[in-house]
Amino acid sequence: MFRSEYADVQPVELPIHDAVLARAAEFGDTPALIDGTDGTTLTYAQLDAFHRRVAAGLADAGVRKGDVLALHSPNTIAFPTAFYAATRAGASVTTVHPLSTPEEFAKQLSDSDARWIVTVSPLLETARRAAELAGGVREIFVCDSAPGHRSLLDMLASTAPEPDIAIDPVTDVAALPYSSGTTGTPKGVMLTHRQIATNLAQLEPLMSAGPEDRILAVLPFFHIYGLTALMNAPLRQGASVVVLPRFDLETFLAAIQNHRITGLYVAPPIVLALAKHPLIERYDLSSLRYIVSAAAPLDAELAAACSARLGLPPVGQAYGMTELSPGTHVVPLSAMREAPPGTVGKLIAGTEMRIVSLDDPDKDLDIGEPGEILIRGPQIMKGYLGRPDDTAAMIDPDGWLHTGDVGHVDAHGWLFVVDRVKELIKYKGFQVAPAELEALLLTHPGIADAAVIGVYNEDGNEVPHAYVVRQQAASGPSDLSDLSDLSEGEVMMYVAERVAPYKRVRQVTFIAAVPRAASGKILRRQLRERA
């Protein structure tokens, strides 16, 4: 068993809105949220006052403790106000992918038994159709304005009393995000106020921030990574969060330059762009002090190329999952130059870990031996909503959550994640990690992105199949011709020269883009369906 080397933290038994905004009066006129495109700013004093007025408006509309409110929005400066207002009114918030189809949205509404929706006017038709399909939705509110719908802006003028709800942080669910569905049916992950707030306290000593910091929020707030690293954590510490609704490279780079961003929390595709894209040279990124990547494996060579190009400390990594509120490991900001390449960090305070054999789950492995990662700590989810069997399959009777990730620990406690258990390819009995092949493919100058899955050949053997995006020979926007002479044979030979025979890529398909979740995680299931 591996235990954190950091001092334990006391569980934070506060509602999440109080755990995050407890120091709002202290930070006062410090910018809390800045629209990265038009500069609209909310101070900490405004955020605190606004979310309380909206909570009063929601309560006056009928929102009650125990209700579920679906928050369906891209990143905006209104998103945190809506989230904290809903929890202050006693609701649990289920966050919805803004690009969900009406049918996907309706399934989440039905599964979570949501009674209320908060959306934005450009997404209103999707929300309306989803509500019709699901049934049971009492009202749809909008963050901005739309005919026939009450707006959160109007609620700012509410004279209704602020709700005084008795919230039990230990048992009451604050957030109900849905797992990514990359390895199965999406499930509602019940995260209590205490679980989320305690995880913030566990992370804070290692990822500190303050009023002098500016964090760029481009990864989505609806995903647990964005909700924690880009919303709850920086707002708890008084940093300014610059908000972008989606990732567009030029807008992203302009926001770093114009708002003097100090810290980035990103996913590997953005690290790839920072390492390789020619547009980087056109922007002043000198305000950046650090970059942290999470949500998917990041190759050590790619991380090094990114940091070298930008003149920064090595890109740090963090590890976790929705079911873990989400963090368990992080490379401390103070240790980025010391951490070994490729590590996802050390156990955060109050967290335990086991590495168990893939063949015998009862067998614990030692330092350097790869196996499945098991986690125990105060940040483990309450369970999957309405799915006791799935919960029991995930969390054993001793409280260990089985992550489904494969990793190993070195002698100094640094964790290295190899791959997903369910994504491992078994070629003639040998295990092949897709992430390893993907990292290798990205070192080819003609490859912009890649994903690898296992497919069965005519002999019934599972073999590695690479989906490859050709690199563009772009010296500028006017020259975007593909390196179309990169062939399937060249890709296979490039890999074959660099790996053991059983790891060779046996099939290659060129595609326009690798399908990814909003978090940056490769949607391998879509590639399997395509294959």
- Mean per-residue pLDDT pooled into runs of 10, the chain (531 residues): 95 98 98 97 98 98 98 98 98 94 94 98 98 98 98 96 97 91 73 98 96 97 96 98 97 98 94 94 98 90 96 97 96 96 97 96 96 97 95 95 95 92 81 88 94 88 94 50 76 93 94 90 89 87
Closest CA to 98 of 66, 72, 129, 61: 72
Q: Which of 208, 225, 282, 221 lies closest to 250 in space, CA to CA?
A: 282
Strand 290-293 to strand 263-266: parallel, antiparallel, or no bridges (unpaired)?
Answer: parallel
Identify the DSSP state of 166. Answer: -
- Tell me which DSSP letter residue 227 carries: I
Q: Which helix (H) or strand (E) holds 490?
A: helix 488-496
Ranges of H-type helices in 122-267: 124-134, 152-155, 193-203, 224-225, 233-237, 249-259
Q: Count Cα neighbours of 514 within 13 Å in the Cβ-side half-sphere.
A: 25
Question: Is the overall model pTM greater than 0.85, yes or no?
Answer: yes
Instruction: Check residue 81 and give its pLDDT.
Output: 98
Distance, C-alpha 64 to centroid of its chain: 29
The H-or-E segment that residue 271 falls in is helix 268-276
- Collapsing DSSP to helix, strand or coil, 390 comes out as helix
Q: Which sign, positive or negative, has the C-alpha torsion 296, 299, 300, 305?
A: negative
| Residues facing residue 151 across a β-bridge | 142
195-231 core/surface letters (b: 16 or more CB in 10 A; e: else): bbbbbbbbbbebbebebebbbbbbbbbbbbbbbbbbb
Going by C-beta distance under 8 Å and a sequence separation of 6 or more, which residues neighbour residue 196?
16, 19, 174, 175, 228, 232, 325
**For position 181, what pLDDT does the model report?**
39
pLDDT value at residue 484: 59
Enter the tokens of residue 77. Answer: 């400066």
